[in-house]
Amino acid sequence: MKVFIADDSALVRERVAALISEIEGVEVVGQAGDAPEALEGIQQLRPDVVILDIRMPGNNGIQVLEAIKKSDAAPVIIMLTAFPYPQYRKKCLEAGADYFFDKATEFEQVAEVLKQLQARTKEDQEWKTGNRWTNRCVT
């Protein structure tokens, strides 16, 4: 599963990347420190998941979210912010965010969500290739 990280803090990007590196089958394919760079990278790399901050230079994460969700094959969006206010949560979820986490108190939840998504992806691939059926029928 391919993940793109967009946050204006290099420290947060590094911390998220380190968290992701511990999850089998999940890889960071790109990073961005501002909104224009994030949009460009996401369009070029087509990740399965985007971890997105709300406040970034050159627009904000909500505008990036809205632009991403307009595409046909929009990735799963995890908003990870230091501004977990109800109005931001509501606006992000209305704009199409799949998850919304507070950096200070819910940082580790990102890894849990990625593990769940990876397990679901693996299961979907098994169904498509017939491995799941074959494995159940073999005696």
CATH of the domain at 36: 3.40.50.2300
| 31 membership: H or E segment, kind and range | strand 27-32
Spatial contact of 127 and 36, defined as CB atoms under 8 Å apart: no
Residues in Cβ contact with 138 at an 8 Å cutoff, skipping those fewer than 6 apart: none
Residue scoring higher pLDDT (127 or 94): 94
Taking 80 as the threshold, does the pLDDT of residue 136 lie above it? no
pLDDT of residue 139: 41
Give the least confident one: 43-57, 74-88, 89-103, 108-122.
108-122
Domain enclosing residue 128, as ranges: 2-137
> Domain count of the chain?
1
Question: Taking the model in full, what pTM does it have?
Answer: 0.86
Q: How sure is the predictor about 71, in pLDDT bands with cuts at 50, 70 and 90?
A: confident
pLDDT of residue 93: 95
